[in-house]
Amino acid sequence: MRVTFCCTDTKAQPWLEGLKAALPGAEIEGWKPGAPAADYAVVWAPPQQFLDEQKQLKGIFNIGAGVDALTKLRLPAGVPLVRLDDAGMSVQMAEYVCHAVIRHFREFDAYEADVAAGKWSYRKPSTRSDFPVGVMGLGVLGTRVAQALRQFDFPVQGWSRSAKTVAGVQCFSGDAGFQDFLSATRILVCLLPLTPDTENIMRRDTLQKLRPGGYVVNVARGGHLVDEDLIALIDSGHLAGATLDVFRTEPLPPAHPFWNHSKITLTPHTSARTLRDESIAQIAGKIRALSSGTPFASLAGLVDLKKGY
């Protein structure tokens, strides 16, 4: 069995060493143009040349939960694509989103500003029932986030393309439920996959439907958000602000207006980082299962290319 590794912006050696340890007996190599045909590929944003050359792949494993960088390429016909289904990312995402929601709800950003100015201040406590949180996307990460928010007694609702059930969460689905979901939400959390249907989903006409004083937390992809619409709605007072971890261009260009906006909190795409050891264990486990005769259809994380996730 031959496994090839092709990941841009990633140090290959630790991954190669980990895969070799997890798959003893397999040939594990980093990809170079003209490399021998492999059975399985472990990838992150590979070049089109890689996919064009590797014509005998049995499966492609992505070292992330989002596969939008891959679905933009010409994928080998009939080759299954498998994404990470957790590998330690869901707890990180839950931490990040809960921190962002609580920081806004408790007005810790305003306290920080007052302390920096040498001001001892007091603010009237807010009521959780006035801050319903809406989670867009109820996959593995979105479900974990929604469940974590419930632990802090926030009203939580979720929206997904297809109907889902999450204990303690009011779930909406499809186009029919989208408007009701938005109008019931004050803090909007985006955890959707980026597809043609979800690109620009957070724009003026959708964000205007949030409750007055709405707040946006984007931890999915920059392409979900229309930047200028967010700024306009914050400046108009309809939205209270945003916490953004993902952007259309990364790193965020120095001249981008997000940098200097007092009501927008930025982090450098760090809400849920890929944990190498956990990811290697998950991918290697799936490759071993396939080698033992387990069908691809039974693997967690199998991507439906028609849906894009």
Give catalytic residues, as residue numbers.
221, 269
Cα–Cα distance between 192 and 160 in angstroms, integer?
Answer: 8
Tokens of 57: 């792949």
The SS3 assignment for 228 reads helix
> What is the C-alpha separation between 197 and 33, in angstroms, rounded?
34
Q: Which segments within 149-248 are labelled E, that is strand?
A: 156-160, 170-173, 187-190, 214-218, 239-244
Q: How many CB atoms lie within 10 A of CB 296?
A: 15
Question: Is 174 strand, coil or helix?
Answer: helix
Q: What is the DSSP letter of 107?
A: T
DSSP secondary structure letter of residue 34: T
Contact present, 213 and 161 (Cβ < 8 Å): no
Is there a contact between 192 and 224 (Cβ–Cβ < 8 Å)? yes
290 beta partners: none
At how many degrees (to 10) do helices 89-105 and 140-150 cross? Answer: 40
Instruction: Judge whether 89 and 219 are in contact, CB under 8 Å.
Output: no
End-to-end CA separation in angstroms for the chain: 27
